[in-house]
Amino acid sequence: MASPSAFSPNGTTATNVAKLTQPARRVNLSDPPIIGWEAIKSRLEELSKLEAGWDGYRGVPMRFEIGYFAAEIIKNLCDLSTPYMPQIIPGSNGDVQIEWHHSGKSIELHVKAPYDVTAWRNNDAVGEDGEEINLTTDFTAISKWLNEFTGATPANEAAAA
Amino acid sequence: MKPPPRDPNGKTQPHDHDEILNDDFVIRRISEQQIATDSATGQRKVSSLAFKASSGENESMSVDIEKLIVAAGLKPEEYVTTPRWVGSIRIQVAPIRTTNCSVGFDPLPENSPHPENPYHGGVWGNFNKATQRAIRQASNWLVEIEGVNLQE
């Protein structure tokens, strides 16, 4: 079992973090038993420390509350059986998009704020325009999307080769 | 170019500037941070998030207005890679407006640590998947990020 470790953006203090339901203190996330979690944590740390203007315009680092919420989404959607960990792409306003891409199919979760997520996917059934839904707290649909998305596991692909 | 409409706080309001013509081009800077990888093929591509406006009310997708850069005697490919190197794409305005987005002028003053950008513009609209795809398809690399597909 991995030991707990901290995720906190450099320089963030309780006075400049938007107050939601999180306590005004450094928050320790216990490491979930997910293969690839260290990489996710590392990526979130990186995005929290992006330089001002990282996008060539007036881009800001990932907002702490958005990173925390994105981490919770990933922890709740992924487990030991999830073969593909998502990538996390920063938006210019401190938002992020959690993305899975495999053989041209994609699932994208745009986390605009805690409890304000736009989810989109494409596949052969829904076509290139895909289907899009807005989410707040219930991510059951995304769990279903992921199960369908990851139906071809590396083990299955190896057997088919 | 005539100034854009602004709210009482000085923030540029969404608008379609009549001096930005359909035959003009805008430039969109693309950071390495905005590149995603297909886990099966290893192919790298520009994330769809790069073809969306910033989150927030009345926020735009930032661009640079190419003809203003040229009129100032600067090389666009040098201007958009200074002071920070990023990739960039060039998009004709007409296909953007075909998606019902508006293309406006939004000059930015210096605001430490950011230098001024008097050639800055914005694209406002409904950035659904069809719009994002249309903008992506209308784009070509100006400063290419090596090994990265622009098209899907």
- Please check whether residue A90 lies inside any domain of the structure: yes
User: What pLDDT was estimated at residue B55?
Assistant: 83
Distances (CA, A) of B123 to A123, A154, B11, B13, B97: 29, 41, 15, 11, 9
pTM: 0.85
User: What pLDDT was estimated at residue B19?
Assistant: 98
Q: How far apart, in whole angstroms, are the C-alpha atoms of residue B111 and residue B100? A: 31
- Please check whether residue A156 lies inside any domain of the structure: no
Could you say which residues from 69 to 88 on chain A have a Cβ atom under 8 Å away from some Cβ of chain B? 84, 87
User: What pLDDT was estimated at residue A24?
Assistant: 52
Per the CB < 8 A criterion, the answer to whether B142 and B88 are in contact is yes
By C-alpha distance, the chain B residue nearest A89 is B34
User: What pLDDT was estimated at residue B57?
Assistant: 79
A151 or B86, which is more confident: B86
Flag whether residue B108 sits within 8 Å of chain A, measured between CB atoms: yes
Least confident residue range of A55-64, A104-113, A129-138, B54-63: B54-63
Least confident residue range of A21-25, A84-88, B117-121: A21-25
- Please check whether residue A83 lies inside any domain of the structure: yes
- Please check whether residue B6 lies inside any domain of the structure: no
Counting residues of chain A whose pLDDT is more than 90, the rounded percentage is 54
The arithmetic mean of pLDDT across residues B123-133, rounded, is 94
- B32 phi and psi angles, rounded to 5 deg: -60, -25
What distance in Å separates residue A31's CA from the closest CA in chain B? 23
- A87 contacts on B by Cβ (under 8 Å): 36-37
pLDDT (tens digit, 9 = 90+) per residue, B11-49?
Answer: 999 999 999 999 999 999 999 999 999 999 999 999 999
What distance in Å separates residue A2's CA from the closest CA in chain B? 25
- Please check whether residue B19 lies inside any domain of the structure: no
User: What pLDDT was estimated at residue A19?
Assistant: 46
Q: How far apart, in whole angstroms, are the C-alpha atoms of residue B143 and residue B88? A: 5
- Please check whether residue B8 lies inside any domain of the structure: no
Flag whether residue B120 sits within 8 Å of chain A, measured between CB atoms: yes
Give me the number of domains chain B comprises.
1
Which contacts qualify for A16-24: CB closer than 8 Å, 24 or more apart?
A: A17/A64, A17/A65, A18/A63, A18/A65, A20/A65, A20/A114, A22/A65, A22/A68
Q: Would you say residue A27 has pLDDT above 60?
A: no
Q: Would you say residue A96 has pLDDT above 60?
A: yes
Flag whether residue B82 sits within 8 Å of chain A, measured between CB atoms: no
Flag whether residue B31 sits within 8 Å of chain A, measured between CB atoms: yes
Q: Would you say residue A157 has pLDDT above 50?
A: no
The helix/strand count (H/E) of chain A reads as 4, 7
- Please check whether residue A161 lies inside any domain of the structure: no
By C-alpha distance, the chain B residue nearest A99 is B36
- B89 contacts on A by Cβ (under 8 Å): none
The arithmetic mean of pLDDT across residues B96-108, rounded, is 97
- A103 contacts on B by Cβ (under 8 Å): 38, 40-41
Structural domain boundaries enclosing B114: 25-149
Q: Would you say residue B106 has pLDDT above 60?
A: yes
- Please check whether residue A160 lies inside any domain of the structure: no
Give A13's pLDDT tier (boundaries 50, 70, 90).
Answer: very low
Average pLDDT, chain B: 95
Between chains, do A110 and B117 touch, taking CB under 8 Å as contact?
Answer: no
User: What pLDDT was estimated at residue A12?
Assistant: 44
Flag whether residue A38 sits within 8 Å of chain B, measured between CB atoms: no
A3 or B1, which is more confident: B1
Give me the number of domains chain A comprises.
1
User: What pLDDT was estimated at residue B62?
Assistant: 97
Q: Would you say residue A155 has pLDDT above 70?
A: no
Structural domain boundaries enclosing A143: 5-151
* Check: complex ipTM more than 0.90: yes
Give B129's pLDDT tier (boundaries 50, 70, 90).
Answer: very high
